[in-house]
Structure 1
């Protein structure tokens, strides 16, 4: 029996234990009323940040943030939040599993929601970080890791939102080609070891690997694996599938190119009902869309671009066919044509979709001054989502922050808040009405009198599904460096079924 089946049985058993007595008190002949599920703030959040860079000239900034809100006010206790170093090991290595690193001082510890905390390092070979937040700091806790590398392979602005550990990830857009040096970082935040399998897929299906199975990730440790050591032949467009046989891990792919810079590839959402890739910059000079169908069915998709004025179809790319178990890569060129946009992938025939994952490699600049970022398909903002690490001193556009808000279906209404800066300032909020089928770019929202780093929080107020991404940018030696982070829902609240205990049933 697989892991999912056991999880469902465990969940059903737990719910039965909670609600069983309550259901016994329903009068004969009357159907039981479904109890309303209350949404309560989560009590604990865990995040994993990978090793930032091995470059001797890399500068890394961590920005930790928890938004203010109803969930924070309802949480019991003051709470704590911080990150600690994880030990670095080679595949199968031992070391101390990070136990010695646990004695270190926490990185970017938070004390209050609503105000970011920043930590910086120029240390070569800085460690991966794992940590948790509890109490009122747990709901929506996010940490941004941003690294500036000014020269060498992979030079550029490399950024990611540190991720929650899980048991499965899909990474479209990786490569084992000679001009790419892509690493999968596997980090175990727990006290017991994890065992991980890596699978690679290309245009012809599964890529034969020599050492991708049974990778041991010791407790509280990180294992970086160079993808080119796994495939026998170079493959340009690769989808990486990460599965934890035991335990759970955080996983991210670091992509380093000899000529085109570098960035992190974060995991793609998986869906059979369509995918959205928000935050394609207005001045993108090249967009390559990489898709994979992980199920047993082929996928037929329509490709559209949601722009500020409406939805258009890229010329020559009206529909795409993705054969089950294979990767498809499509070069869309300068698809945005001077306007910010979001790629919208939908089943070609309504109601007959197949599971798909996707990501886009985006280029800015020309010739030797090009830079790379990756935009994965992401989940919508159902209630709230945040991205930290924006520079309060930057002025938007090419040298600052751009927030992309996409409403691919129905119109929607959202509230966006720029938090106080880590060095001072007051938060500022605005409400935006998003038209159906459009992308709205916000590049002028920052805290009043803000200094240091700040966070943006998106709250969906009404209407259809909303997808969001935040772009950080700066120009260095004429290179338009940038990185894009999507904003899936922060899952700061969880539905808890209403139930009550009635011991009188035992007296009958």
Structure 2
């Protein structure tokens, strides 16, 4: 996805104010007096935006929101005002889960089915998970089918690394199970391999506009034989949400489908909610941007089924498939490679490929062309009528730091993968919602391996906590968190990857050049 860098202009303007006249320079250029200009520095971002989709259409759904900000240790150097101030909150977006348009439903009014949880679907609704300080998570809940999509911002000291986790339990019906997603930054381009319009699937694409002006969105759907459907010029009003059933956009059922979302005007948050008649459901997050090499981290050790779905937006792609485990990387038996035709979706079932050990899948171009692709995994746990599914999209590496919220004392597993060079990371669990103190551990991930660890538990507190991974040295690191709950023998679970939180922005160096005053 494209990433929007915030506050760069403001930072440069501030530097100009300090120096009188600022000459923006690269790290190796000379300033006006012949001295070398300093290299670009990273300053904490001053504003972050997130979008959370409408959690469920089920009357028996129960949703927990957990918000957290690790802040930034260097924030004080950016100015005392930023260090002292900051706010973060989410507000309900207008619109209904079926995409029928804006609604105006009062908070906690009772539905016809007797369930509660409907919130005022306007920007005047009560704020959700408002944060007051970094380092301590807060939670909020919503019950039933009426919970709205949410949009919001964090600024000041709470902006760097602001994270919100949405976790929903659905006890019965199509898509029952544990549905989790990290609320995402709005953007203009998304790829969703591993969607489906098969007869046993009900997949919805959720589009949420966080801004006051309208957004216009195009959808393209690609199956095994190429283009399978489309929808153009979808209007998403300002601060509203629209959800579309994918099967209404295809002429024939598609078992494996790739959805491409493009905003031609404005920006949106986009997520696919996948519901299976027999295998439960979960949120399918967007894949990392198309690239010739991808990492899909966090396959549970007890996975009973793994399906790889890939799509090549341009030319044909030949991919080498490797499984990274605790002792190194191997080639899955019978699945050493995957050929993906340009403009078509390819899929392969890998079965119980991990064989009782945690793992991650590594895809690399083997055609010498470096053809970019997108990819995702559908993971199945359990057997018979006690099966559940989750999804792992290709995930970008953690350059500096990544965070995931809503970890539990039981059932949380952190997976770390170093696909190239050996890497060293620090894993910090925050204080819990019920208090306590943070706890940290340092891990070394050998080149080509994957390790899975229970996050360190905060001392002296109960409740949910956040986990932050900081890369200290070495090569790229990819991470994912599995949250698992068992209910009536059903192994409910959800998996979230940890992208870099982009808590800083690179600001070009500014040197004093008084000669500019002579012009």
Q: Paired residue for 2:245, among 210, 226, 235?
A: 226
Tell me if the contact between 1:308 and 1:341 (Cα under 8 Å) persists in the aligned partners.
yes
Per the alignment, residue 366 of structure 1 pairs with 383
Per the alignment, residue 431 of structure 1 pairs with 442
What do residues 440-482 of structure 1 show as CA deviations (whole Å, max 9, x unaligned)?
A: 1011521112311101000000000000000000101101100
Structure 1 residue 424: Cα displacement: 1.1
Tell me if the contact between 2:49 and 2:151 (Cα under 8 Å) persists in the aligned partners.
yes
Structure 1 residue 236: Cα displacement: 0.6
Q: Paired residue for 2:140, among 119, 136, 146?
A: 119
Instruction: Return the alpha-carbon distance in structure 2 between the equivalents of residues 161 and 64 of structure 1.
Output: 10
Structure 1 residue 405: Cα displacement: 0.3
Partner SS for 2:232 = coil
Instruction: Return the alpha-carbon distance in structure 2 between the equivalents of residues 78 and 23 of structure 1.
Output: 31
Partner SS for 1:52 = coil
Q: 1:447 to 1:94 in 2, by over 3 A?
A: closer
Structure 1 residue 299: Cα displacement: 1.2
Per the alignment, residue 88 of structure 2 pairs with 81
Q: Does structure 1 residue 304 correspond to structure 2 residue 322? A: yes
Instruction: Return the alpha-carbon distance in structure 1 between the equivalents of residues 283 and 420 of structure 2.
Output: 29
Instruction: Map 1:348-367 to 2 at 5 A.
Output: 348-349=366-367, 352-367=369-384
Structure 1 residue 497: Cα displacement: 0.4
The count of residues paired between Structure 1 and Structure 2 equals 487
Q: 1:28 to 1:447 in 2, by over 3 A?
A: closer
Per the alignment, residue 379 of structure 1 pairs with 396
Per the alignment, residue 201 of structure 1 pairs with 222
Q: 1:354 to 1:34 in 2, by over 3 A?
A: farther
Per the alignment, residue 397 of structure 1 pairs with none
TM-score, structure 1 normalization: 0.91
Contiguous gaps of at least 5 residues in structure 2: 106-118
What do residues 307-329 of structure 1 show as CA deviations (whole Å, max 9, x unaligned)?
A: 01111110111111111111100
Per the alignment, residue 305 of structure 2 pairs with 286
Partner SS for 1:102 = coil
Per the alignment, residue 192 of structure 2 pairs with 171
| Range with bigger deviation, 121-130 or 486-495 | 121-130
Per the alignment, residue 154 of structure 1 pairs with 175
| Range with bigger deviation, 445-454 or 110-119 | 445-454
Instruction: Return the alpha-carbon distance in structure 2 between the equivalents of residues 478 and 249 of structure 1.
Output: 38
Q: 1:99 to 1:108 in 2, by over 3 A?
A: closer
Q: 1:35 to 1:324 in 2, by over 3 A?
A: farther
Partner SS for 1:404 = strand
What do residues 117-139 of structure 1 show as CA deviations (whole Å, max 9, x unaligned)?
A: 01012132210000000000000
Partner SS for 2:320 = strand
Q: 1:340 to 1:158 in 2, by over 3 A?
A: same
Q: CA RMSD of the aligned region, Å?
A: 2.6
Partner SS for 1:101 = coil
Q: 1:228 to 1:23 in 2, by over 3 A?
A: closer
What do residues 222-269 of structure 1 show as CA deviations (whole Å, max 9, x unaligned)?
A: 000000010111111000000001000000000000000000000000
Partner SS for 2:385 = helix
Instruction: Return the alpha-carbon distance in structure 1 between the equivalents of residues 88 and 23 of structure 2.
Output: 38
Q: Does structure 1 residue 322 correspond to structure 2 residue 322? A: no
TM-score, structure 2 normalization: 0.89
Per the alignment, residue 275 of structure 1 pairs with 294
Q: 1:100 to 1:500 in 2, by over 3 A?
A: farther
Instruction: Return the alpha-carbon distance in structure 2 between the equivalents of residues 219 and 327 of structure 1.
Output: 33
Partner SS for 1:490 = coil
Per the alignment, residue 53 of structure 1 pairs with 56
Q: Paired residue for 1:390, among 407, 413, 418?
A: 407
Partner SS for 2:86 = coil
Instruction: Return the alpha-carbon distance in structure 2 between the equivalents of residues 23 and 488 of structure 1.
Output: 30
Tell me if the contact between 1:188 and 1:250 (Cα under 8 Å) persists in the aligned partners.
yes
Per the alignment, residue 252 of structure 1 pairs with 271
Instruction: Return the alpha-carbon distance in structure 2 between the equivalents of residues 22 and 190 of structure 1.
Output: 31
Instruction: Map 1:327-338 to 2 at 5 A.
Output: 327-338=345-356
